[in-house]
């Protein structure tokens, strides 16, 4: 690894977790998602290569939690293209994510990752609504995103 790429991998702040903990979190969380009767079929319908997806999401969460700069992508655009998203899907995603962060045994990781996941879910849902994808849901009286207690 050259000096430039090594510098781009070092977190610019005191990270709440190690890179190994990010990998474990991503793999644990998506194993839960794949087993979930609500989310599993949705993810399986849209993901062809789970190994590549997990590597990509490890880069994403490493950027979010550790400040690394490997992640390249446009997650918002990909999610905006999904039809039929509902608040309960985001709430289930957050619940499973919270279970995975709890299982990590790292309180700092849990606090930071859960806060970031909630912000991401809320931002995605707000943008989804702004773009008019939830017109049917609005007529049905569907609400917003909240964390499970």
pLDDT tens per residue across span 26-48: 999 999 999 999 999 999 999 99
pTM of structure: 0.81
Choose among 72, 70, 71: nearest CA to 1.
70
Q: What is the pLDDT of residue 131?
A: 77
Asked whether residue 139 carries a pLDDT value surpassing 70, the answer given is no
Architecture of the structural domain at 15-140: Orthogonal Bundle (1.10)
Q: Which two tokens stand for residue 9?
A: 């991998």
Q: Which two tokens stand for residue 13?
A: 């702040």
**pLDDT, tens digit (0-9, with 9 covering 90-100), for 65-109:** 999 999 998 877 777 777 788 889 999 999 999 999 999 999 999
Q: Taking all residues of the chain, what is their mean pLDDT, rounded to a whole number? A: 84
Question: Which own/partner contact pairs does 127-132 have at CB distance under 8 Å and 24+ positions apart?
Answer: 127/76, 127/80, 128/79, 128/80, 128/85, 131/80
Q: What is the pLDDT of residue 7?
A: 40
Asked whether residue 148 carries a pLDDT value surpassing 80, the answer given is no
70: left (phi over 0), alpha (psi -120 to 50) or beta: alpha
- Around Cβ 19, how many Cβ atoms within 10 Å? 15
What distance in Å separates the CA atoms of residue 59 and residue 11, rounded to the nearest whole number? 13
Q: What is the pLDDT of residue 91?
A: 95
Domain ranges of the chain: 15-140
Q: What is the pLDDT of residue 61?
A: 97
**Mean pLDDT, to the nearest integer, of 134-148?**
49
Dihedral sign for Cα atoms in the order 121, 127, 131, 136: positive
Q: What is the pLDDT of residue 8?
A: 47
């Amino acid at each position: 690894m050259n000096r430039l790429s090594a510098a781009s991998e070092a977190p610019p702040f005191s990270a709440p977790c190690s890179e190994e903990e990010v990998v474990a979190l991503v793999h644990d969380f998506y194993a839960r998602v794949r087993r979930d009767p609500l989310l599993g079929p949705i993810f399986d319908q849209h993901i062809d290569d789970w190994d590549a997806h997990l590597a990509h999401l490890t880069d994403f969460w490493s950027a979010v939690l550790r400040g690394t700069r490997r992640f390249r992508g446009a997650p918002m655009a990909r999610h905006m293209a999904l039809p039929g998203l509902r608040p309960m899907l985001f709430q289930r995603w957050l619940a499973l994510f919270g279970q995975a962060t709890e299982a990590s045994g790292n309180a700092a990781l849990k606090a930071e990752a859960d806060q970031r996941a909630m912000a991401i879910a809320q931002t995605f849902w707000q943008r989804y609504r702004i773009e008019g994808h939830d017109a049917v849901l609005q007529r049905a009286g569907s609400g917003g995103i909240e964390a499970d207690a």
